[in-house]
Structure 1
Amino acid sequence: MNRIEQRLNQNISNGVKSFITYMTAGLPNYDTTKKLVKAQEEAGIDVIEIGVPFSDPIADGPVIQQASFEAIQNGATIDKTFAMMKELREENVNVPIVFMLYYNTILHYGPEEFAVQCKACGIDGLIVPDLPMEEQDELKTFLSDDTILIQLVSPVSNDRVDQILSDAKGFVYCVSSMGVTGQAADFHKEVKNYLSMIKSKSKIPVMMGFGIRDAKDVSPFISDIDGAIVGTHFIDLMRTSNYDSKVASDYVTKFKQDLNNTNK
């Protein structure tokens, strides 16, 4: 069983909601990225999404776009990001880690070689927001069970939901609003019904993302999800704290505590 599946399924068995953060690789540099990963692992984060910087991150709002731009300006590359991952695993960092990236990066690298590098570096999952279900077969052919492809659904997935969920692994990433990331809890008007529908159909954990800042943002939906994902707010927090590891650790600890207190 994949590390993501082990962690999230264990949480469900224990009645615990899961928490995932997103951060951009190489922002402000790779050494700091590593420190932030380690701080979050120690604080009890369940999964970390690491964004691979890309010049045209179409699913992301201004904050993550700027983060990606700055990381690239500072020299971030896919090969350096792979190297960072290898170092983290060699340094006994075992938290499940997902790469969030755009398909052009994979295509340019070569899907088969990309999959080989993912397995070698201990990457547990991939989120590829611009790779629709109908075009995933080639990449899936090369991925092992060690690196699973996470599926996204949205409030307008409608008739595609059953097909998307039929082959979903790890967790279902439920986009809670239309448009790009970082929309400050401006959730879709039908988000409650949508999440309830996904939860009733999904055989794997359901995670809610986009626009979340703290646990109270998801409290109205807590019975319909298995956890929450925070990206833009976490990057903002890191910027304002000058990428302070203790701030990252404290945020993870408090969010997860609040999330599970909401659940009681």
Structure 2
Amino acid sequence: MNRIEKRLKELEKENKKAFITYMTAGLPDMKKTGEIIKIQAEAGIDIVELGIPFSDPTADGPVIQEASYKSIQKGTNLKGVFELVAEVRKDCEVPIIFMLYYNTILYYGVENFINKCIECGVDGMIIPDLPFEETFEIKEFIDKKENVPYLIPLVSPVSKERIPMIVNEAKGFVYCVSSMGVTGQDATFHKEIKNYLEEVKGISKIPVMMGFGIRTAKDVEKYIDIIDGCIVGSHFINIMEKSNYNIDTIKEYITAFKAELNK
């Protein structure tokens, strides 16, 4: 069973919500990235979203754009991130999802990318610039292999009539973008957020996660009975950078967030 599915089924049995973080691979360096993934697992994180730096991250706000730029300057590339995940997998089973742009996959080679994900232990992928209608190429290789990473679908408040189509055969979870625009906005959710989340939850056969603009568990308190968990990205990166990637600070944030989320 895919690690994402396994973990989310465990949470469902425990009647708990999932907490997912986003971090940029290669910051502050590759070795510390691996350490932070493991520290998060120890602190109780449910899934780690690992961003592959890209020169034009169109879905991301200034915090993640800056993190991506810094990581590229340090020489981070997909080959190195695969090596990192393979190393982490020696003693850590936390679900890992790649968040990356499709050009990165095309450059590496679609089939080669899927094969390497299987080999290294990548559990899922989020590709924000790949619309549903263009997923056929990558799905061709996913459908004919085993132990493949799940292609996590993104839906937004403007997806509307497209939502059933997008989530119909999805696996893992549905990533619900909670605001219009890019990542990192301060908990300014779409005015129809509640209706939108309820609509997705009513259609989806898999867990529904809320992301974009979340900083604390209190930010999602109004929607906790609808969603199955939430994702924090830009705020988590800010916390790490301001503390100089202090392990205790990272642990404390995750532990406190999870406790508040499941109180």
Tell me the TM-score normalised to structure 2 length.
0.98
CA distance in 2, matches of 1:127, 1:162: 18
Alignment of 1:162-177 (within 5 A): 162-177=164-179
1:38 paired residue number: 38
Q: Which residue of 1 aligns with 2:114?
A: 115
| 1:1-264 matches, cutoff 5 A | 1-90=1-90, 92-143=91-142, 144-261=146-263
Once the two structures are TM-superposed, the CA of residue 35 in structure 1 deviates from its matched residue by 1.1
3-state DSSP class of the match of 1:186? coil
1:238-261 Cα deviation digits (max 9, x unpaired): 000001111111111110100011
TM-superposed deviation, 1:13: 1.8
Q: Using the TM superposition, give the Cα deviation of residue 140 of structure 1 relative to its aligned residue in structure 2, in angstroms.
A: 1.4
Q: Name the CA distance, whole Å, in 1 between partners of 2:165 and 2:9.
A: 22
> Where does structure 1 differ by over 4 angstroms across 4 or more consecutive aligned residues?
none
Shift of 1:117: 0.6
Separation in structure 2 between the aligned mates of residue 133 and residue 186 of structure 1, nearest angstrom: 26
Structure 1: give runs of 5+ residues left out of the alignment: none
- Percent identity over the alignment is 58
Q: Bigger shift: 43-52 or 242-251? A: 242-251
Equivalences, count: 260
Deviates more, 1:141-150 or 1:72-81: 141-150
Offset of residue 192 of structure 1: 0.6
1:123-176 CA deviation, whole Å, 9 max, x = no partner? 000000000101111111212443110001000001100101111110000000
Partners of 1:118 and 1:141 in 2: CA distance: 15
Summarize deviations over 1:2-47 as a string: whole Å, max 9, x none.
Answer: 1101101210121000100000000110011011101100011000
Letter of the structure 1 residue corresponding to residue 210 of structure 2:
M
Structure 1 residue 191 displacement after superposition: 0.2
1:182 counterpart SS class: coil
Question: For structure 1, which segment, 5-14 or 149-158, has the greater mean C-alpha deviation from structure 2 after superposition?
Answer: 5-14
In the TM superposition, what is the alpha-carbon distance from 1:110 to its structure 2 partner?
A: 0.6
For residues 252 and 118 of structure 1, what CA distance do their matches in structure 2 show?
A: 26
Kept after mapping to 2: 8 A contact 1:102/1:130:
yes
Q: Distance in 2 between matches of 1:156 and 1:195?
A: 12
SS in 1 for 2:225: helix
TM-score normalised by structure 1 residue count: 0.97
Cα distance in 1 for partners of 2:175, 2:223 equals 15
Q: Could you tell me which amino acid in structure 1 is paired with residue 124 of structure 2?
A: G
Structure 2 unaligned residues grouped into runs of 5+? none
Contact 2:118/2:147 (<8 A) preserved: no
RMSD between aligned residues: 0.7
Amino acid at match of 1:25: A
Is the contact between residue 172 and residue 207 of structure 2 (CA under 8 Å) also seen in structure 1?
Answer: yes
Query: SS of the counterpart of 1:218?
Result: helix
1: distance between equivalents of 2:5 and 2:64? Answer: 27
Output the CA distance in 2 between the equivalents of 1:25 and 1:33. 6
CA distance in 2, matches of 1:8, 1:94: 14
| Amino acid in the other structure paired with 2:198 | S
One-letter identity of the residue aligned with 1:183: Q
- Which deviations, in whole Å up to 9, do the C-alpha atoms of 1:180-217 show, x marking residues without a partner? 00001010000011001111111100000000000000
